[in-house]
Structure 1
Amino acid sequence: MVSTKFEIEKFDGKNDFSLWRVKMRALLVHQGLAEALAGGEARVPEGATEAQRKEITDKWKETGMSAGKSIEDHTDEFNKLILDLENIEIVLDEEDQAIIFLTSLPQHYDHFVDTLLYGRESLTMEEVLSALNSRELKKRSDLKDEGGEGLFVRGRADQRDQRGSKNRGATRSRSRYRRRCYVCQSEKHLKRDCPELKKRKNDFNGNKQSSNYTQSDDQSDGYDSCEVLMATDAISGEGWVLDSGCSFHMTFLKDSFCDLEMKDMGTVKLGDDRACKVLGVGDVMLKLNNGSEVKLQSVRYVPDLKRCLISMGTLEKEGMYVCFKDGKAKVIKGSMVWFTGSRKGNNIYMLDGGAIFDKALNVVKVNDTPAQLWHKRLGHISQHGMKELDKQGVFGNLSNCEIGFCETCILGKAHKVWFGRNTTKTKGLLDYIHADLWGPSRQITLGGARYFLSIMDDRSRRVWVYLLKCKSEAFVRFVEWKTLVEKQTERKVKKLRTDNGLEFCSADFNGFCKKEGIARHLTVPGTPQQNGLVERMNRTLLDRVRCMLQNSGLPRSFWGEAVTTAAYLINRSPSSALNKMTPIEVWSGKKGSYHHLRVFGSLAYAQVSQGKLEPRAQKCVFLGYPEGIKGYRLWRLENSKAIVSRDVTFNEDIVYKDLIGSDKAEDELSKSHSGVHIEFRMNEKISIPF
């Protein structure tokens, strides 16, 4: 056996413990004494001072790769710092190590870093080092294939030209093979000096210019020289200029707005000191060259402009970071590149993308008044109901509660002249109950329901709605409802009025009522007016449903969600039969809450946690209020699922039909949602509302 002598310096507290530990571990493994390492995790010896610990943490804060250092040396130094941190009992997980290592790389690794950070759901140091080694090997291979020796000879020939070398002809003959134009293949000039390429560019630019306008060589493509540059209308174009001199975003393209409020907003001065009127403000959707879409807000509509301008100052004021480098402009929002621009031949930066005209609204939209917004939040409540809630101070400092003309209410609530109704004479809750079954509907809900059962208390006028797939479920739902409300009120159901439908006159239903001592009141066949209270409530529910579906643009398959939401809102709306009190107030003795109400079908952003670098919210559509839960029921557009969330941000100015267009709304949603159960049953969790 051949013995080998290993010399390892003794650790005295002054030398590098991490390096000493690696050498000692290798020696013990080589000598077959690896079991000696099982005694516990290595730590910094007790003699380590606070100064040594501070030195390690200071080195960690300066992990950036310095100029001239190779990637191998930087990797070794980073791994050494990781070991030092472990020695002072600071342990980082694999993903944090990978992210810190990537951020320490120099700027010419930006593309490599972006690919790893935003192209994967998770990262480890092993994956980063493997990808980095592959990149370095490919880079060295490419340099070798390109013929580095030939490039070196060309550079040496330039030096010899300056010294007047005698071997000038031979050197040129060797380097001339590389120096040729890639356009016309001539060896007399390079691509940048090619006359053929210049001719093609001139012909292309001449075809793009307007027939009645010619541009001189000394013009700057839409910008004039002036002391304070705002904007200029020298050249017409639909491209968006990244301008650091304009005070806000501006465009002359009215069709590019997806949301425009027409109003007089004063004037803006151009570069020639000429004033142009600002006739409106709105939002513009931009589609970038990489396929993503961004929304540019607070864009001024200036018809006299000839250029669309993006204000760099406005973006910086909104917390964004603008970077210009190597002919590219990057607008960074947080850790994400929001959009980019490219420098053109006239040193003007243009957006890499343009406005989306097919998503623009055909009708200019004016924001709703506060009264109209509350009208929509309450499911298109009547004018009398709005006035009564305003008297109770529900709307706060609302100066005018007049709704005005609402086309949605006209389309959804048109009816014949009514006969009138009687006021309530019942004295106690649950003394008299009205029930009716509506259906079948031609349109099946996403959960497969065709009917809904409505149950109404005569004293409080509170209504409960249950979605049913078939009529036979009516008896089961009634039993569940009776048990629940009797527990809540500690009272008994005494009388029940229904029609003569088989769902209410079956043997099971009649036997249950006799057993529980419930008196039955049935209507005369063919006279639904005798059960007019709940029949009228069904009509009110459907009026609200039509209005909410019409206003939101959601397809008819969502009528189940709409009818449960309508019942929730009706219970919080004043009733003339109750002397302008609300059913929920009479039922529970407490006034209902209104601060959480939102417009049905409006755009909502639900907070999600799906990774450190992923978006923190997802686009959803608001569907209603789940019973017994202090949250909102939402339809997630990304994967067509119903969720309940409390952390929601709403944009009530935008509803579902504004997202995909009113003509395509039903087709787009119906194709992807068939057979999906989304509506909830109110009987599962019913409690006194918050």
Structure 2
Amino acid sequence: MPSAKSSLLYAGAAGGSSQAQPNDTGFRGICHYCHKPGHCKKKKADRAKAAKNKDKGNKDKGSGTPRKLLMALSASSSHQPVLGPELWLDSGASFHMTPMASLFFDYQEPCESDAVGLGDSSAHDVLGKGTISVQLSSGEIREIYPVSYVLGLTHTLLSIGTAAQVGFDTLFTAQGAFVLDAETGDKVAFGVPVDTLYRLDAHISHSQASSVLELVHSDVCSIMVESLGGKRYVVTFLDDYTRYLIVYLLAHKSEVFSCFSQYKALVENLHGCLVRVLHCDHGREFVSGEFETFCAEAGIQRQYAVPDAHAQNGAAVRVNRTIREAARCMLLHAGMPAAFWGEAVNTAVYV
């Protein structure tokens, strides 16, 4: 078992109520404040604070409304609600997490053991991590990654701190919680206040596309070693609906546009339908003038991930990682030089 210091990730709300001090403080001197024996000023204040918190907790319990933040709602809570796919904003969570395995459309076991501490002092193992797809009230589809799979929770929690790290700020008002794009200030989502909590106005979307070529994910990854054919990059095009994948090996990133035009002609002729949306990052190879003009003339909608927010282009990023790892394993197993990575990548995609 990993040590609590290194692996126990406390995601509960900071500043939670402290535990009451024991009646016997063990202090046998004279208080320097009131000059009476058996206590000191600091410990006397701690006991008074603990008693006040205890009285407050009893009042909260009698009202029938849980006062702790969402992370404190464990499986043993007497206020446990019906488990559902709703998304809840949590300022105390260290990372995104859910107790529902059915929400993941991409999932993998963790490489090392982790645990998460809840507000009731219980600890639960992180069984895996993956990606969930969310459809906002505006109809826009967003991917959230990584989301930890943690049994013992009663809600799917979205960490405000983790969201801030990838470019999203949260503004709390009397009307609710506004999730804003940190760069543009535009509203991305809204948290509806429910008692002292905030439910995101979104729902889980297991499939981002409802038809072939409705949504295509793309990303470019660089390879440190030049291939036998002089290639240094790989660009992938992944159809969201069928997961049909096509890759091209590139010598320069500027070749991405010509590869996309070839891909578009190939798949549209193969499937008999048109590419509607291209989802990619803000790399210069995707935002060139000729690329923008081509997509505008073809009626292809562009969806961009926030700069340096790789999780928003998660489908393409993960497939690139899978291809690289598969190619590396093939080369190591066969004892082939690294320059054969191009052949290994094509083989990995084929199989």
TM-score tier, shorter chain, comes to: 0.3 to 0.5
What is the TM-score with the length of structure 2 in the denominator?
A: 0.46
* Higher strand content, 1 or 2: 2
What is the TM-score with the length of structure 1 in the denominator?
A: 0.25
